[in-house]
Structure 1
């Protein structure tokens, strides 16, 4: 169930105040990312309610690769989608059974392919050359492995080119216009049993997702006819449903998406094919916020600037592409309670040594003072996972909040951790 606007507005302050009161944040914790664990549970429950029974919901590891979060989803029956060799290992370390792991890296090495086949994960080949590598590895002799091919359905791009991967050209998969070669690839390989797609993420509409799924279902029927048997047994529709980062970026609901998908692709519910999903942003973004301590407040050239402890190190896209990526900001007092009062334009500067490190410019915010907290809403996906090593700053602590309890999901990096990283 989608939380009410009132809960959504109040929860970060309640969670931050709880963490502070429990002593989970000390003077060294200049920044933190906090997750709503019950909200994460609700997201998975919503997917199970809306999609066909038996669907494997494989959360995208890249969106929030905190092992504690991944393990919690796995304990509740979810799968995990790995886009690299280390993400594959992280999935297994989080307790995900191999039969619930989807391995989608577009640049798999021979050792990675060999290991994935031995483990028996769901492996989606990115291209015909990868299928030839799998031929050489005798992929058909791995009875536990579930093997498919990624296809670009070529249904068009969304409003953000960098997150759209289903145009006429894409770096991912084989294009649908090569359907003859795709069909022949399946005829040649009886062990090839699945189709995979990903249309894109933020900026893509429901129509693109449903059109992509429809195109691959039709391709699957063509493959079945050519092979003389039911060959395509699973359809991986990827993830990508956009999320709202505030009033300026409304987004469709998962219920809207599932309803449209059922209307356009009813055989996912009525037929023998098993559906897979790979939601990341939708799963994690609204379940986490970040908070950074205000270190200094400066007034110069008629502008007020708050210097905080998060910037382009964790919010690469908002800092580099502020017109495309925007987070709602709020301000809390040193005890975590929301600051009230009049609002005025503020610049929010991050801690990195380059001129573009700003979370916001001219944003209407309450007055800030050193010791306050700058709260960044909807930061649960693609933030900590994109942490930058520029200036060698320490990655912040990650906390999970459930009812009235607070747990450390990941400790703040120590100076020694950073030095060890650099060798």
Structure 2
């Protein structure tokens, strides 16, 4: 469910018309619904009620300061994967004891920043990283709280580029080496081993891969406790998928996911962390664009819009589907058309959809890409020297620009020309 609906024939974000936002900021732009963001966070929070837990929003899906503060004020923790994300979370008022630092390539500088600024835990991905973290923490007179990420070699049955739990993926340590790695961790003076971390991928629409991975984590917890380790926290990652097409069957609900967690690891008495991103932010955002031209090709019509792959790269990178709807609702029985929906970028890859049957639209009409809140704005760029597009946050009948579109002069002024030229 989201809060983007047609009212009196016009698409609204909560109680604000999309047309009103377009008139204010121009196109293209991203718009997010506060009510949807909070609803989806609370679905996860409620799913784990009665258990000691923390829901950490995966900031890599959407890292605007306003969104982080909105969720942080609601009690969310943050899952960060870089110094920049850590600093964003802290700047938005999220306390260090609600920030989890993930990622395979943490530098010593990043470790130091997080240790000095406050951190809930590091999800350690390798032995070299763990040794480096111990040295940095010991040098500061601290012990870094860590979980160790294990790779359970479970097929998440998702897109190859977002699968993270198979043996060939770069993430975590092989689970069959975990006991040896934990034994090594126990010898290090700068780390405090508090738990286990696992994350098998993104956009999972079946609970069974989670069940298989969490069962392995449960067995490992018992083994590690028998070895003398105080395993008191399980970070179970994120990855629950969303319905990108209104015609697709719905993925499992957060309540189903919560019950699976209870069934697989609830008996262990551990604090539970989860790190959802896409399911919180994905359906909370739209990308809105204006039609420039309808071009007749040799055997197809091209719908050319003013958003490009630099604004939303998911279709080009992952062959991802987004429903594309008109901002002005078409009456029942209105003509439909088949388009290749493309942008203005000088790449054939700048294609959002091929052979898409949708409402017939024309130049000047606005269209909205649904489910664009996750991995949309955060993956955008200035390719073809196109300025980054605005982000807008709506709350009931109010909206605010939370990232403005830079001017061309501002964009160009970031370059520095050497004195010898």
TM-score w.r.t. length of structure 1? 0.89
Partner of 1:183: 182
What whole-Å deviation, never above 9, does each CA across 1:208-228 have from its counterpart, x for those lacking one?
A: 11222222232122222212x
- Tell me how large the CA RMSD over aligned residues is: 2.3
Distance 1:373 1:419, change over 3 A: same
Aligned residues: 407
- Deviation of residue 186 (structure 1)? 3.8
Partner of 2:329: 338
Choose the corresponding residue for 1:18, options 13, 16, 19. 16
| Residues 1:211 and 2:212 aligned together | yes
Partner of 1:364: 357
Unaligned runs of 5+ in 2: 417-421
* C-alpha separation in 2, matches of 1:104 and 1:81: 7
Is 1:125–1:148's contact at 8 Å kept on the other side of the alignment?
Answer: yes
* C-alpha separation in 2, matches of 1:371 and 1:353: 21
* C-alpha separation in 1, matches of 2:183 and 2:274: 26
Partner of 1:56: 54
Choose the corresponding residue for 1:91, options 89, 92, 107. 89
Distance 1:188 1:329, change over 3 A: same
Is 1:163–1:203's contact at 8 Å kept on the other side of the alignment?
Answer: no
* C-alpha separation in 2, matches of 1:259 and 1:385: 31
Partner of 1:109: 107
Distance 1:192 1:321, change over 3 A: closer
Partner of 2:290: 293
Distance 1:159 1:18, change over 3 A: closer
Distance 1:321 1:135, change over 3 A: closer
Distance 1:170 1:203, change over 3 A: same
Distance 1:40 1:159, change over 3 A: closer
Distance 1:186 1:17, change over 3 A: closer
- Deviation of residue 240 (structure 1)? 0.5
Is 1:62–1:385's contact at 8 Å kept on the other side of the alignment?
Answer: yes
Partner of 2:130: 131
* C-alpha separation in 1, matches of 2:40 and 2:318: 28
| Residues 1:393 and 2:381 aligned together | no
* C-alpha separation in 1, matches of 2:84 and 2:180: 31
Partner of 2:323: 328
Partner of 1:257: 257
Is 1:303–1:346's contact at 8 Å kept on the other side of the alignment?
Answer: yes
Higher mean C-alpha deviation, range 277-286 or range 46-55: 46-55
Match of 1:201, SS state, is coil
- Deviation of residue 153 (structure 1)? 1.7
* C-alpha separation in 1, matches of 2:48 and 2:413: 44
TM-score w.r.t. length of structure 2? 0.90
Partner of 2:279: 282
* C-alpha separation in 1, matches of 2:67 and 2:138: 32
Is 2:95–2:118's contact at 8 Å kept on the other side of the alignment?
Answer: no
